[in-house]
Amino acid sequence: MDTLTGRTIRALKAHIGSNQFGSGTKLGSLAELSEQFGVSRTVIREAVSALRSDGIVESRHGVGVFVRNRPNPDIEDASSLDANLALAPLARLQTTFMDLLELRMAFEVHAAGLAAVRRSWAQESNIWNAARGFEASLEDEAALDHLDFVFHRSIAEATNNGAFIEFFSLMSLQILPQPAFSKQLNPALITLDYIQNTVAEHRAICEAISSGSAERAREAMRIHLSRSHLRYRGFSDDAASPLSNVAPKD
């Protein structure tokens, strides 16, 4: 089921399975899940409905969505095992935040190059719309997090490579800082200059992809992620690292 709804269903199942949520665990409201997975409420509602039909979740009106039964790969047909479930152990990798950033760079730099030569007009428009939305929301931290996610997801989708799209859906919650643009949580890192530089870098990536040059697109993405990489490096040995929760130490 290679549709946005299908991918959201698989991502939601992986989220439940990889975090080992037990029966009765609240996943959030539809609005919260919509923001978390970067999709519309219509899409998340369809995904929740499908998982409800499978007995995995239940919806409580006015309260939210709760886990009913965790997905069990042992009872599924081997030929239809969900790639998200197969990769779920990745979510529990005991690795460093900087290792994850390097993985992100390798993946997204190549994705930008593919997007430059494979994107459709509609996909290019989606990338630009996310970048412009980000630029128009500089004072709204929650919106910045969501639009940054949408921007990078749109580039992955513009590769028109199913494996790239699935990998982004699987790993985005592990690789992308959440929240990424909180001045309150990371006052030394998230400054106005940092956000404005992000705006400029997003635009440079958009222009490179629109030019159709894979080399330009890869370089623009490399510059963008390298800056984040270098800035986060200063936090990498700090217990208060922006993503210390992603790779907890034993």
Tens digit of each residue's pLDDT (9 = 90 or more) over 96-117: 666 777 888 889 999 999 999 9
Q: Check residue 155 and give its pLDDT.
A: 94
Locate CATH 1.20.120.530 in the chain. Answer: 94-233
Lowest mean pLDDT among 12-26, 209-223, 227-241: 227-241
- Ranges 7-11, 16-20, 39-43, 118-122, most confident: 118-122
Q: Check residue 72 and give its pLDDT.
A: 59
Averaged pLDDT of the chain: 76
Locate CATH 1.10.10.10 in the chain. Answer: 4-67+81-89
**Chain centre distance of CA 249:** 23
Residue 193 burial (10 A CB sphere; 0-12, 13-18, 19+)? exposed
pLDDT confidence band for 83 (50 / 70 / 90): very low
Please give the Cα distance from 28 to 21 (Å, whole number). Answer: 13
Give the tokens for residue 231: 């800035």
Q: Which of 102, 43, 84, 96 shows the shortest CA–CA distance to 242?
A: 96
pLDDT confidence band for 78 (50 / 70 / 90): very low
Give the tokens for residue 27: 């996943």
- State the alpha helices, DSSP H only, in the chain: 4-18, 30-37, 41-53, 83-86, 97-118, 121-135, 141-157, 162-175, 192-211, 214-233
| CA terminus-to-terminus distance, the chain | 38
Within a 10 A sphere around the Cβ of 186, how many other Cβ atoms? 20
Instruction: Specify the higher pLDDT residue, 88 or 107.
Output: 107
Q: In the CATH scheme, what is the code of domain 4-67+81-89? A: 1.10.10.10
Residue entry with tokens 């994850």: 100
Written out in words, the top-level CATH class of the domain with range 94-233 is mainly alpha
Residue 89 burial (10 A CB sphere; 0-12, 13-18, 19+)? exposed
Please give the Cα distance from 119 to 15 (Å, whole number). Answer: 28
| The pLDDT of residue 246 is above 50 | no
Please give the Cα distance from 113 to 72 (Å, whole number). Answer: 37
Lowest mean pLDDT among 77-81, 136-140, 168-172: 77-81
pTM of the entire predicted model = 0.59
| The pLDDT of residue 238 is above 60 | no
Give the tokens for residue 238: 């700090």
Mean pLDDT along residues 141-170: 83
Mean pLDDT along residues 172-187: 60
Give SS3 for 33: helix
How do residues 125-148 score in pLDDT, each as one tens digit?
989 998 998 888 877 766 777 788
User: For residues 166 and 83, is the Cβ–Cβ distance under 8 A?
Assistant: yes
